[in-house]
């Protein structure tokens, strides 16, 4: 996507418009881990605590295990509405006594710092997907599928925030991101399926050029170019059904992030050039390997499922914004002050110190009636982030998640469709265990704090199998 514009006669204050352009560039720039991994893809997976690597049977296979695209033997279409209500908190202590000379403790809830806390806001989004088996020569042993998350507030929004600002590393603006997944799977024999797929974000690159007439205080020309290019990584899956009722699933997803680079060049009438380079890496999702088991008991019609996921967070890069200012041109070079006035070029990247994690999940689904299914699940996500005792405040907590939901099948009384329509509802409570942070520096600008909270999510999904 590319935008261009020019103007020769706007008599605006050059400094004001310069910083307006910078602000416009910085806006599209926090939120980590995949939106599906944190909140779930559809209502059924949410209700089962996302323990579905070996138990998925709809379009969410495009994310959870691409090999399971071969499970439904008819065209399967689904659409869902997903909402989440984060209730997260950061309680701070007063770091100094009234005279500002000594360290104090024990007083929470009063904001003493000029550095505010970044908030995680309520969001809503649509999830859609389709699976299509290929007939004819393939005899329904090959299937393709696609799924996407479409946020209702912003198509693409991320944040690269000041690392000193208290912010929840895993949540932030994560849901306000368009995400696309898809793949193809084959079933060479009845008990074995394998698949390969992709997941897509986008890189953002561009440039702002400003030519300024320093004598008249006008812009001779302005130009803004922004390119958003898709960025993909691979996924793969395996599904084995060794005996009746038992399934073993294995899935892998490669890491993915969004990289943005938007330099701003202001040319001051041939006297000097100001190059403001803004960039960073946000929306990181790690390499993840998941092993899943499921077992279906005919009587009393129970499905038991369990997953264990290994997430390689130790590969995560610096999520803070990278900003540098470089003064160039004959005037500054002639005065010998070009290098002295440069800012940010020697800034060292932040080492997050994240560790790899193991996340277990279990689920239970019961079908008391042929048109009704009830389900529940549990998941535990240990935090990869160390306690933020230093100058950074990338906050994260151990998270316990409980899901529950139901499915209803409705036959069409007008016989417009030969198969029933399935309506799935799911709910999830993600509880973040409180975590205490004692700052190592006595004069830390944020100070000691405690953070935690919970996130309630709900989803409604409609599935139709043709």
Does pTM top 0.85 for this prediction? no
Lowest mean pLDDT among 42-46, 354-358, 402-406, 407-411: 407-411
Residue spans of the domains in the chain: they are 20-465
Q: How many CA within 13 A on the CB side of residue 309?
A: 26
Query: DSSP letters of 137-183?
Result: GGTT-EEEEEEEEEESS-SB------TTS-EETTSTTTTSB-EEEEE
% of the chain beyond a pLDDT of 70: 73
426-466 pLDDT, tens per residue?
999 999 999 999 887 777 888 888 999 999 999 999 999 88
The answer to whether 151 and 177 are in contact (CB under 8 A) is: yes
Which CATH architecture describes the domain 20-465?
Beta Barrel (2.40)
E-strand ranges in 214-301 read: 218-240, 246-253, 256-268, 272-285, 287-297
End-to-end, the C-alpha distance of the chain in Å comes to 36
CA–CA distance, 88 with 38 (Å, rounded to integer): 15
Neighbours of 122 (CB within 10 A): 13
Neighbours of 385 (CB within 10 A): 23
Please tell me whether residue 39 adopts helix, strand or coil conformation.
helix
Mean pLDDT, rounded, for 377-403: 93
72-94 pLDDT, tens per residue?
989 999 999 999 999 999 988 65
pLDDT at res. 56: 95
CA distances from 416 to 54, 75, 419, 441, 464 (A): 33, 16, 9, 70, 12
Mean pLDDT, rounded, for 163-170: 86
- Tokens of residue 289, six digits: 């390997």
Mean pLDDT over each residue of the chain, to the nearest integer: 80
pLDDT at res. 465: 87
By residue count, the chain amounts to 466
Q: How many CA within 13 A on the CB side of residue 218?
A: 9
């Amino acid at each position: 996507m590319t935008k261009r514009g020019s103007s020769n006669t706007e008599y605006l204050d050059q400094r004001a418009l310069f910083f307006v352009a910078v602000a416009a560039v910085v806006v599209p720039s926090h939120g980590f881990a995949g939106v599906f991994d944190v909140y779930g893809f559809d209502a059924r997976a949410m209700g089962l605590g996302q323990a579905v690597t070996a138990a998925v049977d709809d379009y969410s296979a495009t994310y959870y295990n691409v090999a399971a695209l071969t499970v439904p033997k008819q065209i399967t279409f689904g659409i869902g509405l997903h909402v989440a209500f984060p209730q997260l908190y950061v309680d701070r202590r007063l770091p100094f006594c009234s005279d500002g000379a000594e360290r104090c403790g024990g007083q929470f809830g009063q904001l003493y710092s000029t550095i505010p806390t970044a908030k995680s806001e309520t969001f809503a989004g649509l999830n859609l997907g389709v699976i299509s088996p290929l007939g004819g020569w393939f005899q329904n042993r090959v299937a393709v599928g696609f799924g996407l998350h479409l946020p209702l507030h912003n198509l693409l929004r991320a944040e690269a925030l000041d690392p000193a600002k208290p912010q929840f590393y895993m949540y932030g603006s994560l849901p306000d991101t368009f995400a696309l997944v898809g793949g193809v799977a084959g079933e060479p024999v009845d008990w074995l399926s394998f698949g390969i797929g992709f997941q897509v974000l986008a890189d953002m690159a561009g440039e702002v050029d400003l030519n300024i007439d320093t004598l008249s205080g006008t812009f001779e020309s302005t130009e803004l170019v922004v390119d958003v290019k898709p960025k993909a990584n691979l996924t793969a899956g395996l599904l084995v059904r060794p005996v009746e009722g038992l399934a073993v699933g294995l899935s892998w997803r490669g890491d993915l992030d969004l990289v943005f680079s938007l330099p701003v060049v202001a040319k001051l009438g041939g006297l000097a050039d100001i190059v403001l380079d803004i960039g960073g890496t946000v929306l990181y999702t790690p390499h993840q390997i998941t092993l899943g088991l499921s077992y279906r008991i005919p009587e009393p019609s129970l499905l038991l499922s369990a997953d264990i996921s290994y997430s390689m967070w130790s590969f995560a890069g610096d999520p803070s914004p990278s900003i540098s200012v470089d003064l160039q041109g004959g005037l500054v070079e002639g005065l010998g002050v070009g290098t002295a006035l440069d800012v940010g070029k020697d800034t060292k990247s932040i080492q997050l110190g994240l560790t790899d994690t193991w996340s277990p999940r279990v689920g239970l689904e019961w079908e008391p009636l042929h048109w009704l299914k009830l389900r529940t699940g549990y998941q535990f996500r240990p935090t990869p982030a160390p306690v933020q005792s230093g100058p950074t405040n990338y906050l994260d907590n151990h998270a316990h998640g409980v899901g529950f939901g139901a499915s209803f099948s409705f036959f069409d009384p007008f016989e417009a469709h030969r198969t029933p329509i399935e309506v799935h509802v799911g709910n999830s409570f993600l509880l973040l265990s409180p975590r205490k942070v004692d700052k190592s520096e006595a004069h830390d600008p944020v100070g000691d704090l405690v953070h935690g909270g919970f996130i309630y999510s709900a989803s409604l999904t409609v599935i139709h199998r043709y």
